[in-house]
Structure 1
Amino acid sequence: MKNNLSEDSLAILLLCSNLATYGKTGSFFKPFTLKEWDSLSHKIIESVMKRPGAFFYTTPEEWRECLNLTPENIQRIQNLLTEGGQLGIELERLSSLGIWVTTRAEASYPARLKKVLRQKSPVVLFGAGDASLFQSEGVAIVGSRNVDEIGSYFAEKLAGRCVTEGLTVVSGGARGVDMIAQNSALRSGGKVISVLSNSMETSIRQRENREAIVAGRLLLLSSTHPKAPFNVYNAMDRNKYIYALSHYAVVVSSEENKGGTWTGATENLKAGWVPLFVRVGGQVPAGNNRLLEKGAIAFDSEVLADEAVILRNWLSDNIQVIVNYESSKRNENNISSPKKDHQLAFRFDDSTVSHQILDNPEQLFAGNDLFTVVWPYIEKVLEKSQKTEKELAEMFNVRSVQIQDWLKRAVDEQKVKRLIKPVRYVVASYGPSGQERLPVGNIEQAVVFESCE
């Protein structure tokens, strides 16, 4: 993929990245942060400017009138836009190294990142390799840097099974579990998306990486400048990208209450980005068992030992959601309980939702937030078609008041859009102030949807 970028992307790169100023000394204005850009882009879309590229054809006075900007931000934009010449030089240099750049204004930007992370998706991405890997079905294999022999063997076997079944391994590219899984997949002829926490320029110079990139089997990805060295904050921040680019995630080994693996796994459980599996057994770290208690799904090594098991099907079949009729929200509202306090475990595949009553479900999900585990599967249904409260309640075999609680929370957290006449729900990607963003051309345009209670 070449760096043939739109004017919108060029403006975004100047305003939101340090690509043109990296390593520059002296006093200069800092690029807009993700939060700042979401606010500014919202103003741009609602104004007569409409697109970031309009900055190149309008005056500071027009920015002030159209966007209601402070004098400080007007000066900031002016100064950042003066680096266009250096930006062009840097884009040419990166292209010569085989590194491409994309932004949220480009069709080449991975749609899954936008869909899953919404406002948290990075504005700018740097990559090296075949971008078509974004379209593949991925399994994130993550874990601690210091992993024991049993965990290493599990990571190797899992990566090998992914390759056999044509699944892409999504890795963090770090020492330990990440690199064990990545190298195992590449040695077996498989494909890998590696979301880096260290310098892309350093990684791309490694012979094995270059060969895999040329062969179309490795895609390196980063949201930071390709020269940027390892940084703890960036390493933590990129965890969400690893999860969002995958369809399933497997934690091989995790410490408890510390480390990047624990932070990323618990963040995923809370946000409900993708189903989370965790290795279980007699010699797993304490963090694995704690993640299981928090709602992760058990993954026994016997699954990998059984050659008759199709991994893709096993992962899909074992996505379970524990649903409690007696949610805390309903108790707070003093809603009467059914005579028998049943809890259900749901199994999902591509077309059906079935359920079974568990005898002792309290032990499986005690003390956890049910919504964060339930939501990914409600979302999966709503991605296919709009549904009413009644339809969802019947599908999940819960009372209407429970579905109403979950949907209200999903609307409050901007996970779904509530339509009227009749009232129904649909998944939507929201921007600032509750606006749904829809792609028009090469730039996101906003459409406001108002609902009447």
Structure 2
Amino acid sequence: MERFYLAALLAVPKLKQNTVRRLLGSMKSAEAVWKAPMKELATFMTENEQTALMNFRNKKAGLPEKIANDVEARGIKVYTEESSEYPSILKEIAQPPMILFCRGTLVSDVQRIAMVGSRKATAYGRHAAEELSAELAASGLTVVSGAARGIDTFSHKGAMKTGRTVAVLGCGIDVTYPPENEELLCEIAENGAVISEYPPGTPPNQGFFPARNRIISGLSMGTVVVEAAEHSGSLITAEMALSEGRDVFAVPGSIYSPMSAGTNRLIQQGAKLVRSGRDVLSEYPAFSAAPEGKTSYAEEGLPQGLSHDEKKIYELLSHDEARTADEIIYALHGSGAANVAFLLLQMELRGLVEEDENHAYTRRIKEA
């Protein structure tokens, strides 16, 4: 039960992790801290922390038992810093989480790379994230991200095509956020790991996400920022990686795109520019890149089997800038206008292009 008393202590609002460590050093166990009279704990805590702990224990005296029951009922694993499954690289950061809840299999000492970016990802960012993560996972690296909308989601999806991925949540391990990623999180748990430092049932909180970011960067040898605006939260993850002496990489973007302002600035400040997975893997000789040939999606050739009209349409499309059927017809100067919608549908069914929520089209990245 010791792990569950620790989880209960860490769930107390306003009770800092450093304070919990001091209390454990004095009282020797989380159970002793949870059950001790407040006067025995007062010298190790601020007045606000004393009040927070007292009120929390009064309201949730049975919380350790509840966490234990929830964990058992849902098949959730619980790791502390003493557990063999706890990643050793995570212990190196300034504030390692004292507890981790896990669905799936967290392999302690594999090599990992973090991939982060904007929730409001462009077509360019989504394609870049999916392709890069697939290439990195195929090399043997485990891709770590935060299961958020946008870049995180596509980083996980790409990694699962060729290897393993880990999702780090800013809520309880059994809470799906964002809601549309429920199926994705189940797939990650089956083929990798979903982890959180928060007890089951903990709802997402804005203050939890910066704390989650330290785990994403802390698990990883380096962090790739795929797409980020000037003040994106992804830049916080990059700063955390730098503060821990880890590598930082960034995918360049258009100087006209506000969604690439943050990544372009990172490159200005010394982050390594990434055009393909090979640029990341060159920093880690133990991992092999894909065979020489295609070095970035910008250099991708035309698919085989395109008709004359399909080829003209495909050449107008890219991975980053979506075009509507009307824009394609205009670019073709009206040539074959009647067939464009039909040809786009046929190409979409063959997996060559994809349509977004605005009914605009981009090239679809190739399956790894």
TM over 0.5: same fold? yes
CA distance in 2, matches of 1:179, 1:90: 28
Q: Which runs of 5+ in 1 are unaligned?
A: 19-29, 318-348, 351-453
CA distance in 2, matches of 1:310, 1:275: 12
User: Alpha-carbon deviations, 1:149-182, whole Å to 9, x = none?
Assistant: 2222221111111221111110111111110110
User: Does the C-alpha gap of structure 1 residues 97 and 136 become closer, same or farther in structure 2, counting only changes over 3 Å?
Assistant: same
Q: Give 1:436's aligned residue.
A: none
Q: Give 1:294's aligned residue.
A: 269
Q: Give 2:186's aligned residue.
A: 210
CA distance in 1, matches of 2:216, 2:46: 38
Any conservation in 2 of the 1:14–1:84 contact (CA below 8 Å)? no
Q: Give 1:178's aligned residue.
A: 152
Any conservation in 2 of the 1:161–1:311 contact (CA below 8 Å)? no
Q: Give 1:264's aligned residue.
A: 237
The answer to whether residue 5 in structure 2 is matched with residue 14 in structure 1 is no
Aligned residues: 279
User: Does the C-alpha gap of structure 1 residues 86 and 266 become closer, same or farther in structure 2, counting only changes over 3 Å?
Assistant: closer
Q: Give 1:91's aligned residue.
A: 68
Q: Give 1:143's aligned residue.
A: 117
RMSD, matched Cα: 3.4
> Equivalences for 1:23-42 in 2 at 5 Å?
30=13, 32-42=15-25
Give the counterpart of 2:165 among 178, 182, 192: 192
User: Alpha-carbon deviations, 1:353-411, whole Å to 9, x = none?
Assistant: xxxxxxxxxxxxxxxxxxxxxxxxxxxxxxxxxxxxxxxxxxxxxxxxxxxxxxxxxxx
User: Does the C-alpha gap of structure 1 residues 131 and 12 become closer, same or farther in structure 2, counting only changes over 3 Å?
Assistant: same
CA distance in 2, matches of 1:206, 1:70: 39
Any conservation in 1 of the 2:5–2:64 contact (CA below 8 Å)? no
Structure 2 residue matching 1:287: 3-state secondary structure = helix
User: Does the C-alpha gap of structure 1 residues 93 and 60 become closer, same or farther in structure 2, counting only changes over 3 Å?
Assistant: closer
CA distance in 1, matches of 2:102, 2:156: 17
Deviation at 1:114, TM superposition (A): 1.5
User: Alpha-carbon deviations, 1:174-229, whole Å to 9, x = none?
Assistant: 1111101101222x142111011345324399344334423xx2211122233233
Give the counterpart of 2:86 among 88, 91, 109: 109
Amino acid at match of 1:154: A
CA distance in 1, matches of 2:234, 2:224: 11
Q: Which runs of 5+ in 2 are unaligned?
A: 288-368
Give the counterpart of 2:283 among 290, 315, 326: 315
The answer to whether residue 146 in structure 2 is matched with residue 169 in structure 1 is no
Structure 2 residue matching 1:289: 3-state secondary structure = helix
TM-score by length of structure 1 reads 0.54
Structure 1 residue matching 2:284: 3-state secondary structure = helix
User: Does the C-alpha gap of structure 1 residues 211 and 78 become closer, same or farther in structure 2, counting only changes over 3 Å?
Assistant: same
Amino acid at match of 2:98: V
Amino acid at match of 1:287: G
Amino acid at match of 2:170: S
CA distance in 2, matches of 1:31, 1:263: 22
CA distance in 1, matches of 2:207, 2:45: 30
Deviation at 1:282, TM superposition (A): 4.5
Any conservation in 2 of the 1:138–1:245 contact (CA below 8 Å)? yes
User: Does the C-alpha gap of structure 1 residues 203 and 139 become closer, same or farther in structure 2, counting only changes over 3 Å?
Assistant: same
Structure 2 residue matching 1:121: 3-state secondary structure = coil
